[in-house]
Chain A
Amino acid sequence: MTQDVWSEQGTTPDAIEAALREMLRERHAANEALAPARVLNLVVIVDRSWKGEIANRLERVGRYHASRTILCAVEEGRKTLDAVAVMNYDEPSPGVVGVMHEQVEIDLGVDALAGLDTIVDPIVVSDLPTMIWCPHGHDEALEALRHMVDVILLDSDDVADPADALARAADLLSSAYVVDLAWLRTTPWRERLAASFDLPEQLEMLFELDSLAIRHQPNSGASAVLLAGWLASRLGWKVAPLRSDNSSPPHGTAQGPKGPVEIELDPLEQEAPGLAGVTAACGSRYSLSLDRGRGGLRARERINGDEREWQVLGASRGEGGILGEGVRQALLRDPTYGPALGAARELSS
């Protein structure tokens, strides 16, 4: 990877934008086969002291780099803007187009957050969708940019109380498309549940489910309740708040079209964030359990007393892969998140 770098202390948004434009012009003039990626702007608001950690996470997204990443590092007491702009590219082989990604880091003070749109707006690439991610909070910055962003990236599992996290997601969903990493952690589980119930015999069972147990890492309660909300919204269950006390995990009863459905969310210690397993059953006739395993999920199915177990193949994406998927999802639209979020809020209220 080759880098062109520009930096300036006490700079302005116009100077940053002009520097980016000049770097692109110079690089393209030097090698016409180099062209700027033009897919997505990503604006990230972080605490300056944790800037490195977030930059590392962004580096691990694999091929899903935004075209232009603008990292705003917020520092108490700072009065000026200091910026570094970097153009990243690999020299292309003959006959192949090389892609350049731009990264801008701006150090700014807390006082600048209320007017952050006047700093960021001149720097984003026009006509590209813009995504914002505030992993350290900074609600003031998010509010300032809300009118100019198309997509908000968040992680509902980052908030201690899933109910608060989901309420926040629902609020943001009213003004922009929301990509929730907690939701993306459920994707392989949703795909596998959909596939497991796709055969005609299993599809019949799907409409007759009477119990659902979701096992999850203790810090991933939002993912668990989103998965329950997804099933509820897809299957037309009337849901009510789950009950919880010191001796039992959150549990409750939803009303399915064919009878009550017992729902339970079980925290389970595991290293990786996200879900650990799910069991869906209808009485003693049928149950399906999917549990995290090596090289995929371990499936266990019981039909009328006969039990079978097998491996469902799939590599773990890791947290880097989930963040990369979050960036990629900025360009897609999942119509099932909103209804799932609505049902999850009912369950967690």
Chain B
Amino acid sequence: MSTAVAQQTGDENPLVEGLERLPVHPTALVIFGATGDLAHRKLLPALYNLAHEGALPERFELIGVSRRDRPDADFRSDARASIEKFSRRKPDPNVLEGLLANARYVPGSFDDDAVYAELERTLAEFDQQAGHPLDRVFYLSTAPEFFPVIAGKLGAAGLNDTEKAQVRIVIEKPFGYDLASARQLNVEVLDEFDETQVFRIDHYLGKETVQNLFALRFANALFEPVWNRNFIDSVQITAAEDIGIGSRAGYYEGAGALRDLVQNHMMQLLALLAMEPPASFEANRLRDEKLKVLEAIVPPTVDQVASMAVRAQYGPGVVAGTQVPGYRDEPGVAPDSRTETYAALRLHVSNWRWAGVPFYLRTGKRLARKVTEIAVTLKPVPHLAFQSTGSVGVQANQIVLTVQPDEGVSVSLGAKIPGSRLRIRPVNMEFRYGTSFMSESPEAYERLILDAMRGDATLFTRNDEIEALWGIIDPILTAWHEDTSSPVPQYASGSAGPEEANLLLAEGQRWRRL
């Protein structure tokens, strides 16, 4: 009997079909900033979980690079402690030991040629052990000022390319702090690496709910027919946090809410929500469609900013029954700081699908509740045959995608209140990941690290996307920077944000309750 089902020639691996885990070629992962907070809280635990599940490449080598001088053994023991503390599952000692047994640490300043010479020597040693060159992934988890330095030094050392293996560079956010710096960083990185080698990370794109936007929109005939200006009244994207800046004053004072969340995460959500269906989910097809949306958002002039953007700072207030200080009273924050902890925008996507539909974005710290959601409000029905007396009445349908904390989708519908009269009130039809799937969602970093090692850039941001994102935000930053006299609105900690944000809304619209 012939059981041939597989292709026998060419580059296709016939063993891959049907497997949930796709092969990843042998890889050496180099983490710059390996002693930093992100590495210890997110990257190392993510690597452990991938190892636990058998998802790492057959051969996997880990190299940490950082300024602190220390032996390999100290790096391994610190990494072990971080994994034990932050991993989403209790580590298996044998897997953990295997993951770190051969891990190396290269100490030194990121601008020191000796670091790169040592890196080259260590990578060559790993290649020798494997009998072939390993793919390289350079993960830049450092302060942003080191991104061009490291990219340049990797290029100068010839580590940006290798024969018979792939070299990739993963760059953490923030990618630039305005349009000019983002362009400059793109130039400097792309001087040394081809765009196909560059993976600009936005961990929001690794979240299951964000990816579920694709499924919701493009795998259901129910939604796409109404996903346009004819049926949609407005869109609200909210990323609210109930915590303050904690110990991040040093970073936050120079960033603010607009750079911290709007320019990257929230604009990505907008692009995914508003883009046209791509022909396929190949990385560039998808990113082409996102780019078209971003390019259809006409950036405001500096003069227009006051009418489409609101900034504010949290003042003192009560959160969860506890009195908390205002932003300007936080340690490390200037008493006259003008850095925004809250930003709200009204944007328009000027194309046939979305013309006239306002997209409202808001984010803030120390708000009433932690929630990230996208709410799509449909237009009201054109005629109502029911009397509304004695009930809340018919309200516009809303489709709400909750990204966190309780991932899911809900659709509000008008339903008859039981009784002898025909009275209507809104009810919710809910889908929650927790009730509809048995699987636990992997951490976003697990998915993204694996994708970077596989060379799949679908969930990473391309250079032109980055520049388009900054192009929208830049005039707002400029206007706020230039305005040094008008008072920055304050909102009470634990509240829903400043009153001024209501001025952005069209008549009859209101922000969703947090």
Also in contact, A235 and B432, with CB within 8 A (given A97-B406, A296-B98, A306-B131): no
| A196, A239, A315 — most chain B CB neighbours (10 Å) | A315
Whether A195 pairs with B24 at a CB distance below 8 angstroms is: yes
* Residues in A whose Cβ lies below 8 Å from that of B369: 95
Whether B406 pairs with A95 at a CB distance below 8 angstroms is: yes
| Selected interface stretch from A113-121, A171-179, A339-347 | A339-347
In the complex, what distance in Å separates the CA atom of A190 from the CA atom of B98? 21
Is B11 an interface position by the 8 A CB rule?
A: yes
* Residues in B whose Cβ lies below 8 Å from that of A233: 3-6
Is A236 an interface position by the 8 A CB rule?
A: yes
| Selected interface stretch from B52-60, B334-342, B482-490, B491-499 | B52-60
Is B384 an interface position by the 8 A CB rule?
A: no
Q: Across the two chains, which residue of chain A brings its CB closest to B97?
A: A295
A-contact bits for B1-23, CB 8 A (1 contact / 0 none): 11111101101011111111101
Whether B131 pairs with A303 at a CB distance below 8 angstroms is: yes
Whether B438 pairs with A40 at a CB distance below 8 angstroms is: yes
Determine chain A's interface SS by DSSP, over half rule.
Answer: mixed
Also in contact, A236 and B16, with CB within 8 A (given A36-B435, A191-B54, A313-B98): no
Is B25 an interface position by the 8 A CB rule?
A: yes
Whether B21 pairs with A313 at a CB distance below 8 angstroms is: no
Also in contact, A96 and B406, with CB within 8 A (given A306-B131, A314-B54): yes
* Residues in B whose Cβ lies below 8 Å from that of A195: 23-24, 57-58
In the complex, what distance in Å separates the CA atom of A199 from the CA atom of B165? 10
In the complex, what distance in Å separates the CA atom of A303 from the CA atom of B130? 11
Residues 15 to 60 of chain B near chain A (Cβ within 8 Å): 15-21, 23-26, 51-54, 56-60
Determine chain B's interface SS by DSSP, over half rule.
Answer: loop
Contact of B436 among A39, A196, A231, A346 (CB under 8 A): A39
In the complex, what distance in Å separates the CA atom of A343 from the CA atom of B3? 7
Whether A39 pairs with B438 at a CB distance below 8 angstroms is: yes
| B4, B436, B437 — most chain A CB neighbours (10 Å) | B4
Is A234 an interface position by the 8 A CB rule?
A: yes
* Residues in A whose Cβ lies below 8 Å from that of B95: 295-296, 313-315
Is A51 an interface position by the 8 A CB rule?
A: no
Whether A63 pairs with B54 at a CB distance below 8 angstroms is: no
Is A4 an interface position by the 8 A CB rule?
A: no
In the complex, what distance in Å separates the CA atom of A270 from the CA atom of B34? 40
In the complex, what distance in Å separates the CA atom of A40 from the CA atom of B439? 13
* Residues in A whose Cβ lies below 8 Å from that of B5: 233-234, 236, 339
* Residues in B whose Cβ lies below 8 Å from that of A339: 3, 5
Whether A206 pairs with B1 at a CB distance below 8 angstroms is: no
Also in contact, A190 and B1, with CB within 8 A (given A38-B435, A97-B434): no
B-contact bits for A310-349, CB 8 A (1 contact / 0 none): 1111111000000000011001101111010011001000
Contact of A299 among B3, B51, B58 (CB under 8 A): B58
In the complex, what distance in Å separates the CA atom of A303 from the CA atom of B439? 40
Also in contact, A95 and B25, with CB within 8 A (given A40-B438, A234-B5, A336-B18): no
In angstroms, how far is the closest chain B Cβ from the Cβ of A291? 14
Q: How many residues of A contact B (CB 8 A)?
A: 67
B-contact bits for A221-244, CB 8 A (1 contact / 0 none): 000000001011111111100000
Is A15 an interface position by the 8 A CB rule?
A: no
Is B382 an interface position by the 8 A CB rule?
A: no
Contact of B435 among A99, A199, A234 (CB under 8 A): A99
Contact of A35 among B1, B98, B435, B437 (CB under 8 A): B435
Is B247 an interface position by the 8 A CB rule?
A: no
Of all A-B residue pairs in the complex, the 5 with the closest CB atoms, nearest first, are: A295-B94, A314-B54, A236-B4, A336-B18, A194-B15
Chosen A-B contacts, 14 in total, with CB atoms closer than 8 Å, are A37-B438, A39-B435, A39-B437, A95-B406, A97-B434, A194-B16, A200-B11, A238-B1, A310-B58, A313-B52, A314-B52, A314-B54, A316-B92, A332-B20
Kindly list 16 other residue pairs between chains A and B, CB separation below 8 angstroms, not including A63-B439, A190-B15, A313-B60: A39-B436, A39-B438, A95-B405, A97-B408, A188-B54, A195-B23, A195-B57, A234-B14, A235-B4, A235-B14, A295-B97, A306-B131, A310-B58, A315-B54, A342-B3, A346-B1
Chain A contact residues, CB within 8 Å of chain B: 35-40, 63-65, 95-97, 99, 188, 190-201, 203, 206-207, 229, 231-239, 257, 294-296, 299, 301, 303, 306, 308, 310-316, 327-328, 331-332, 334-337, 339, 342-343, 346
